[in-house]
Amino acid sequence: MLDLKLNKLINEEIISSYQDQVISIDKMIKNKTGLGSDFLGWVDWPINYDKDELRRIKKDAQYVRDNFEVLVVCGIGGSYLGARSAIEALKGLKSPDKLEIIFMGQTFSPNYIAQALDYLRDKKFAVNVISKSGTTTETSISFRLLKQLLESKNTKEEVKKAIYATTDKNKGALRKLSDIEGYSTYVLPSDIGGRYSVLTAVGLFPLACAGIDVDAMLLGAKEARDVIQKTPLKENKCYQYAVMRDYMYRHDKPVEMYVTYEPQMSQISEWLKQLFGESEGKEQKGLYPGSATFSTDLHSLGQFIQEGTPLLFETIIKILSPHQDVIIPFDEGNLDGLNYIAGKNLAYVNQKAFEGTLKAHEDGGVPCNVIYLDKLDAYNLGYLFYFFMRACAMSAYLLDVNPFNQPGVEVYKKNMFHLLGKKGF
């Protein structure tokens, strides 16, 4: 279950001053009447998702698990961060699972790509290429290389069985290629943008391949949707979170720092940074989303957070029960002086680090919000993903920007294409 404790600057009076705005924006989201309303397919997706496709996803995922050593998820931005963040959060960073999952298509780095291809050369691998447009250059280059590597060591039929494409239902280069080559395909619905697509096949196929309970994840998202839709602002954690963000933005706190105490959640922060950064950062507006993993980053950023330019507030995602735990052993010599906590587990120490840091930062004038999750499982993660997507839409509409476009991203592409000599640029 999810709970939210807002920072001390936010009181009932502030929340209720947003009441009318929140009600009217909520109507806009439900009735699809706001800016970018063609991209609100994710709102009812937890109940409207394609049940036949989900059955096929689970069946194909089992085939991948039974027949391959590695799955390469090839995509960028919204076409990969959801899957990566959920797989790492739920399976950990050193998963012993029989199917290894690696990521490509998110970089031009020759070092990264060459090393990944070398690693795959002697492995039995499958590829899930994910691209709504089918023309994203990072993804297309990696996919071309992966396809050629597969073709160099497999029959045409084996290659076909090793490639799974997630793309638009009818259009785009990847759709065309998949139809010609006969790949298994899944759909990224045309009314759902990349950064709101984690609960579609974009996230669900790689997650199912990782052995994650995708039904539980959709159920968690459905529960979040139901709760958000029926709860008035006074008790609505999701919309209160959006209101808090707006208030901070308008009161000289232009940076939100997402904080976790679990390294395996660092990609959740990356997903959040994309979701909020791309949805809100336009028309010279929006909070800058940053992230940190504590206590690790307390030894690097901690000084700035405590005493530097007072521009940020924190949103901490705190997991109450870890998957696993370790007891600190007793040591006869006690030269490291740790015997005072011998016999305690690391969850206890991590909790005390959280409590001590929260107090230090609040005392230092850094507003801190805490989202509590009882545990990190597929259900809670589905809930969390939906919670943040809905909060993001509310928050962007409070800023009066379109949450579903990203016009600024095109500028670097145009310059790069011109420099690369692409026709028409």
Site for ligand PA5, rule CB under 6 A = 76-79, 131-133, 136, 139, 193-195, 278
Distance CA 227, CA 259 (A): 25
Q: For the CB of residue 274, give the shortest distance to ligand PA5 in the complex, in Å.
A: 6
DSSP assignment of 309-344, as one string? -S-EEEEEEEEEE-S---BPPP-SS-TTS-GGGTT-
Find the farthest-apart pair of alpha carbons in the chain and give their distance in angstroms, rounded: 73
How many Å apart are CA 221 and CA 395, to the nearest integer? Answer: 19
Nearer to ligand PA5, 70 or 141 (CB): 141
Q: List C-alpha distances in Å: 9 to 64, 141, 146.
A: 50, 48, 51
Report cis status (omega within 30 of 0) of the bond before 295.
yes
CB 107 within 8 A of CB 283: no
Which CB, 184 or 200, lies closer to ligand PA5? Answer: 200
Q: How far is the CB of 193 from ligand PA5 (least distance, A)?
A: 5
Q: What is the DSSP letter of 345?
A: B
Alpha-carbon distances, residue 121 vs 90, 116, 154, 158 (angstroms): 28, 9, 12, 15
**Do residues 129 and 105 touch, judged by C-beta distance below 8 A?**
yes
Quick one: DSSP state of residue 282?
A: -
Closer residue to ligand PA5 in complex, CB, 141/347: 141
**Element (DSSP H or E) covering residue 401:** none
State which residue, 226 or 283, has the beta carbon closest to ligand PA5: 283
Distance CA 422, CA 375 (A): 49
Shortest gap between Cβ of 57 and ligand PA5 (angstroms)? 18
Query: Which is closer to ligand PA5, CB of 202 or CB of 301?
Result: 202
Catalogue the active-site residues.
278, 299, 413
Q: Give CA separation, 330 vs 326, 337, 344, 410, in Å.
A: 13, 10, 10, 58
User: Which residues does 108 contact at the CB level (< 8 Å), separation at least 6?
Assistant: 137, 138, 141
In Å, how far are 39, 70, 166, 317, 336 from 197, measured between CA atoms? 11, 23, 11, 21, 48
Cβ at position 381, least distance to ligand PA5 in Å? 19
- Closer Cβ to ligand PA5, 128 or 236, answer by number: 128
Chain centroid to Cα 176, Å, comes to 28
In whole angstroms, the minimum distance from the beta carbon of 206 to ligand PA5 comes to: 14
**Nearer to ligand PA5 among residue 132 and residue 361 (C-beta):** 132
How far apart are CB 183 and ligand PA5 at their closest, in Å?
A: 16
Q: Which residues pair with 5 in a beta bridge?
A: 370
CB of residue 76 to ligand PA5, shortest distance in Å: 5
Q: 3-class SS at 230?
A: helix
> Which residue's CB atom is positioned nearest to ligand PA5?
194
